Structures are given as C-alpha cells and as structure tokens.
Chains A and B, each alone.
Chain A
C-alpha cells in the first residue's frame, strides 16, 4: 500500500518541476522525503491496529502463548457491550469528560476574556498560568495524592481553612463521592490554560473595527458580547473542546497515578479498565475488542463533532 500511494503521489508532481537534478527527479525527492514517515506510521500505528482487530475475534492470551487460539467470532464484543460493569466505566468516563470540559471552558474563556483586557504584565502572568499543562501527568498525579492527604495535605488545609472545616474530616481520594471530583480538579488545574490560550487567540482575531462600528450604533456592552464576541470565538472554543475531548477520552496516566481507579470503581475510566484487562488479567482477545470499541467511539464522536465545527465556521 505504501508503494502505490507514494508512486501516485510522485507521478502527480507537475512535469515542469520534474526536471532531472543530479540524477534525482522531483518525483524521486518527494518519494524519498515522505516514504520514511509513512512507513514508520504504518509500522507503529496501522499494522498494530489491524493486528488488534484480528486479535479481537479470538480468545488469545499473551501469558499463555502455547495454548490453542480459537476464533470466537463477535463473542468478545457481545460480552463487553452487555456487561453492566462496562457501562459503569463508561459512565465514569462520561462524568469525567463532561465535567472537565464544562469547567475548563468556563474558566478558560473567562481567563482569556480578562487577559484580553490588556492589563500591565499580562504576558508574564499568561506564561505562569500555562506551566501546569507542560508537566508530566503521571508525576503530577502522583504528587497530588500528597496534596490531597487528609490533615497534612496542602489542598485539604487550604479548603478546610476556607470552608472552616477540619482538614482531616474529608479525603478527596478515599471518598466515593469526592474521588470523581478529585480527578476533575487536577485535570482542570492542568488543562484550563489550554482552553484559555485557544480562546485568547480567538479573542485577538476579532478586528477592533467591528467593536468600533458597534459603539457607533450604540450597541450595549452586553449586546456586543453576545452578538460579536461569542459568535467570533465559538469556532476556537469548539476546537479547544475537540482537542480536550479526545485527550480526556484517552485519559490514563494522571488518573491511574492519582486514584488508581478507586475507591471501588468510581474513577475507573475506560482506558484504565482496558489496561487492567490487557496487562493484568491478560485477556488479550477481550481487551482487543474493548480497544476497538473505544477507538470507534472516539472516532465516531470526533467526526460528528468536526462536521458541526465546520458548519459553525462556515456561518
């Protein structure tokens, strides 16, 4: 498949450019330059994906390489989709996804809106706000378990002081009602800057003249906000939601270090569940089917969303 694609791509290079240069035509150069990238991506992404699809129809187990491998048809898929535990994990994922997106969009947009007021030193403070998102999620998740410790944790102390409660009276990670929010808080701390930066680019892309025209028409500030600012920033905001949505659907490192999926299964996101099936219970075939289901879900949702995004852009 590589060859035919690259050949076709090389043939289409216009003849005017295709003069021979020291024995190498432009076609050959294009081929030479693109082939390694395509090859590596096929080897490390597409080939494994096809392999996963194949495994998903078997009962193969990596830890028993010598036992018989049977084709089980779609049984793995049926078992996953009819298992209530799977839906429990889907719900945990949905809760995480929806709350992080909603909170990050609100705070991120608000911050961008404020920074766009161009106060003194705004660039410096923007850089400071951005730091958390560049850090290693696993290291961050691990350290937040320390901040979340009852009594001695910084988070509990600060929140306890503000609310006037005993910092030892609640445990963010140990409590089944608080744990889903514990992961939301850390993700929000890390990733709000991402939404903020994209919104800021959107706000800065609005030409000043539109606001000036609105002033001349005596449109109120409130009206300007809803009829100019929001519609013009919306495509940027939707792009930010797309990126964050895809990333958080895949979420693994931060949460696995922070709560390990517990207490119970309250923070077991689908990717954590998948990791357990594949690398702890070693049910390779079953886990492969699980992986395909997740992959199809994220791709399906993303492509529907991209269509909506394009419609917004066209308006």
Chain B
C-alpha cells in the first residue's frame, strides 16, 4: 500500500507498540507461572518470596501421574528405586504404588472431546449445507432457534438432563456426554459452517450436476473439499468447548466418564493442594489449546462470534 496521509507516524507506532507489548507481557505472567510451577518442587512452589529462578524438577509431573505411599526406611531400602520417577518418590521417603487417575481423566477428555467434535461437525455440515443451498421456509426462525439454545444457562437444563440421563442409563457415560456436548456445539457448528458454505459459489455444484453427478456426489466431491478449511476450524472451536467444559461435567459425571477440568482442581497432596502437580496437569491440559489458538488465528474472530463478524 502506498503512503497515505492517514498512516500513523513512526512515533505513534512506537508508542502503541510499547503499550500493547506491555499488556501482552502482563497477560503472559499467570500463564508462565502455571508452566514454571509445574517444574518446581512443592517447597519451591510455596516459597516466600516467590522464586523466579529455581532448579527444575519433574516431581510435579510424577505426583500427577502416580499414586504414592509413605513407607518405612527399611521398606524403602528393600525396594531400591529403578526408574527416575521412583527415585523422585524415594527422595521424599515414598514409593509408587500405581498410576493416578489423571491418565483416565485425560483419556476421557480426549474421547468425549473428539467424539462430540466429530458428531457436531458431521451433523453441522449437513444442516448447514441444507440451510445454505435449499430454500427453506422459516429458515431464519430455525437458525435463530439453533442459536438461542446456546443462551441457556447450563444449570437451567441440567436438572431435567440429569433426570433424563438417569432414566436412559446415560449418567456418567461417555455416550451421554458426547451427545450432550454435541447438542451444545451444534449451534456454533451450524452457524459457522453455513457462513463458510455460503461463500462457495453455487456454480461449482451446478457444473458438477450438469456433468452428471448426483446431488450427493456434488456434495462430497465439490462442496466438502471447498469447505475443508471452514470445517477444520469449526472442528477446533467445537473441540476447545468440549475440552474446557466444566459445569455439565461436574454435575453429570463422577467415577467413570469424568473429564479433566473437574479433576485437576481436586489434586491434593500433603497439607492442601499439590500446586506443582496441579500446574503440571494444567500445563498438559492447556498446551494443546494454545497450539490450536495459533493454528486458528485467522478464523478466531469468526469462531468466537458465531460467524457474526467475518472480517
């Protein structure tokens, strides 16, 4: 772009840049604190004044993934540590007796997150295609109805869903949570995908139909590949929601299908929360989302506003 009279002066740019970077650094501090606390020892984590420089240890991660028990000196000597994890435990006079429940919880998050994402994108793509390509009566009303389901406070529908799941045997099951999260995500996926499909010129499909393709063939050989970017970013938004969801998870699941968000805050050690282990769990849980955010940055705005702002 050529130089214009409205272009900010270098000084203005420098000033604006400094302020924004300052804000970004303040914003980053709690995040960095989570990540670094995961590599501290318990005493280092609760040191006064808070320690910035410290010797990193994997104690938090070992505590996160294992169950340990305190044993006598003699027992400790009888079971010499073999792995690095056992060594860390032994240095505190503990032995590892088994895995913790974090692995299961994390796996539940993966199963429920990916399961519901897959379903909501498949159903959402089909509905969005129909809304985009066919003249549907009450289209605006139906689209608004779909959007309005997102305004409902989760707790408001949680009571009957709780009763319904109990009757149908879906309480505390993966299937129940997948269906529930799919329903919540459908509003987002239909709205976003309709926007993406609207942008694909109809002429492509019409050409395919003239070439003798059926409607279905035109749909999956022409429309789907064209909408691939849109489908991928919609999928990531759905995944982030299911990944982070807490209210339904804490109300409707307990032993079997509980995901990580209700679990992480319950990690306790000796005398209160085991902060390095909590931070380790939070880090493992947050990092995928941060990677997704970087991948998504071009479609971020569109995703968070249900397609209302396309840029």
Q: Cα distance A157–B215 when bound, in Å?
A: 64
| Residues on A with beta carbons closer than 8 Å to the beta carbon of B297 | 123, 126-127, 130
Contact B152 A143 (CB under 8 A): no
Contact B156 A292 (CB under 8 A): yes
Q: Cα distance A17–B294 when bound, in Å?
A: 42
| Chain A nearest Cβ from B311, distance in angstroms | 5
Q: Cα distance A302–B144 when bound, in Å?
A: 13
Q: Cα distance A302–B161 when bound, in Å?
A: 25
| Chain B nearest Cβ from A160, distance in angstroms | 10
Is B155 in the interface zone, CB < 8 Å from A? Answer: yes
| Residues on A with beta carbons closer than 8 Å to the beta carbon of B246 | 136-138, 252-253, 257
Mark contacts of A93-118 with chain B using CB atoms, 8 A cut-off: 1 yes-contact digit, 0 otherwise: 00000000000000100010011011
Contact B136 A143 (CB under 8 A): no
Contact A146 B273 (CB under 8 A): yes
Is A187 in the interface zone, CB < 8 Å from B? Answer: no
Contact A151 B48 (CB under 8 A): yes
Contact A201 B311 (CB under 8 A): yes
Is B228 in the interface zone, CB < 8 Å from A? Answer: no
Is A139 in the interface zone, CB < 8 Å from B? Answer: yes
Contact B186 A139 (CB under 8 A): no
**Which of A32, A44, A119 sits near B16, CB closer than 8 Å?**
A119
| Chain A nearest Cβ from B283, distance in angstroms | 10
| Residues on A with beta carbons closer than 8 Å to the beta carbon of B124 | 37
| Chain A nearest Cβ from B169, distance in angstroms | 15
Q: Give the contacts of A213-256 with B (CB-CB under 8 A).
A: 215, 236, 239, 243, 246, 249-250, 252-253
Q: Cα distance A125–B25 when bound, in Å?
A: 9
**29 A/B residue pairs, CB under 8 Å, sorted by A:** A9-B139, A11-B137, A13-B135, A14-B135, A26-B215, A30-B130, A34-B130, A34-B142, A40-B183, A44-B184, A47-B164, A49-B160, A52-B160, A62-B162, A127-B294, A134-B290, A135-B289, A136-B243, A138-B246, A138-B262, A142-B278, A147-B30, A154-B30, A154-B50, A239-B309, A253-B246, A275-B247, A278-B158, A291-B156
Stretch in A83-91, A174-182, A204-212 with 4+ CB within 8 Å of B? A204-212
Is A24 in the interface zone, CB < 8 Å from B? Answer: yes
| Residues on B with beta carbons closer than 8 Å to the beta carbon of A134 | 240, 244, 289-290, 292-293
Mark contacts of B1-31 with chain A using CB atoms, 8 A cut-off: 1 yes-contact digit, 0 otherwise: 0001110100011101101110110011111
Q: Cα distance A45–B182 when bound, in Å?
A: 12
| Residues on B with beta carbons closer than 8 Å to the beta carbon of A114 | 16-17, 19-20
Is B33 in the interface zone, CB < 8 Å from A? Answer: yes
Contact B157 A49 (CB under 8 A): yes
Q: Cα distance A115–B152 when bound, in Å?
A: 34
| Chain B nearest Cβ from A246, distance in angstroms | 6
Give the interface of A toward B (CB within 8 A).
Answer: 5, 8-9, 11-14, 17, 21-22, 24, 26, 29-30, 32-34, 36-38, 40-41, 43-49, 51-52, 55, 62, 107, 111, 114-115, 117-123, 125-139, 141-144, 146-147, 151-154, 157-158, 167, 189, 193-194, 197-198, 200-201, 204-205, 208, 211-212, 215, 236, 239, 243, 246, 249-250, 252-253, 257, 271, 274-275, 278-279, 284, 287-288, 291-292, 294-295, 298-299, 302
| Residues on B with beta carbons closer than 8 Å to the beta carbon of A135 | 244, 286, 289
Contact B265 A26 (CB under 8 A): no
| Residues on B with beta carbons closer than 8 Å to the beta carbon of A157 | 49-50
| Residues on B with beta carbons closer than 8 Å to the beta carbon of A144 | 30
Contact B160 A47 (CB under 8 A): yes
Q: Cα distance A246–B305 when bound, in Å?
A: 12
| Residues on A with beta carbons closer than 8 Å to the beta carbon of B294 | 127
| Residues on B with beta carbons closer than 8 Å to the beta carbon of A38 | 127, 142
Is B88 in the interface zone, CB < 8 Å from A? Answer: no
Contact A33 B130 (CB under 8 A): yes
| Chain A nearest Cβ from B155, distance in angstroms | 5
Q: Cα distance A246–B147 when bound, in Å?
A: 13
Contact A274 B160 (CB under 8 A): no
Q: Cα distance A51–B152 when bound, in Å?
A: 14
The binding surface of chain A is classed by DSSP as helix
Is B214 in the interface zone, CB < 8 Å from A? Answer: yes
Is B222 in the interface zone, CB < 8 Å from A? Answer: no
Contact B289 A125 (CB under 8 A): no
| Residues on A with beta carbons closer than 8 Å to the beta carbon of B158 | 278-279
* With A139-B282, A295-B156 as contacts: A215 and B162 at CB distance below 8 Å: no
* With A30-B136, A119-B17 as contacts: A45 and B153 at CB distance below 8 Å: no
Is B254 in the interface zone, CB < 8 Å from A? Answer: no
Q: Cα distance A194–B305 when bound, in Å?
A: 9
Apart from A135-B289, A189-B30, what are 14 other A-B pairs with CB-CB below 8 Å? A33-B130, A40-B123, A40-B179, A40-B183, A44-B180, A117-B16, A129-B20, A129-B23, A135-B286, A154-B33, A193-B27, A239-B308, A253-B261, A294-B156
Contact B309 A208 (CB under 8 A): no
Q: Name B145's closest neighbour in chain A (CB-CB).
A: A41
Q: Cα distance A198–B309 when bound, in Å?
A: 7
Contact A252 B247 (CB under 8 A): yes
* With A137-B246, A147-B33 as contacts: A131 and B179 at CB distance below 8 Å: no
Is B175 in the interface zone, CB < 8 Å from A? Answer: no
Mark contacts of B200-219 with chain A using CB atoms, 8 A cut-off: 1 yes-contact digit, 0 otherwise: 00000000000000111000
**Which of B46, B154, B279, B300 sits near A250, CB closer than 8 Å?**
B154
Q: Give the contacts of B261-311 with A (CB-CB under 8 A).
A: 261-262, 264-265, 273, 275, 278-279, 282, 285-286, 289-290, 292-294, 297, 300-301, 304-305, 308-309, 311
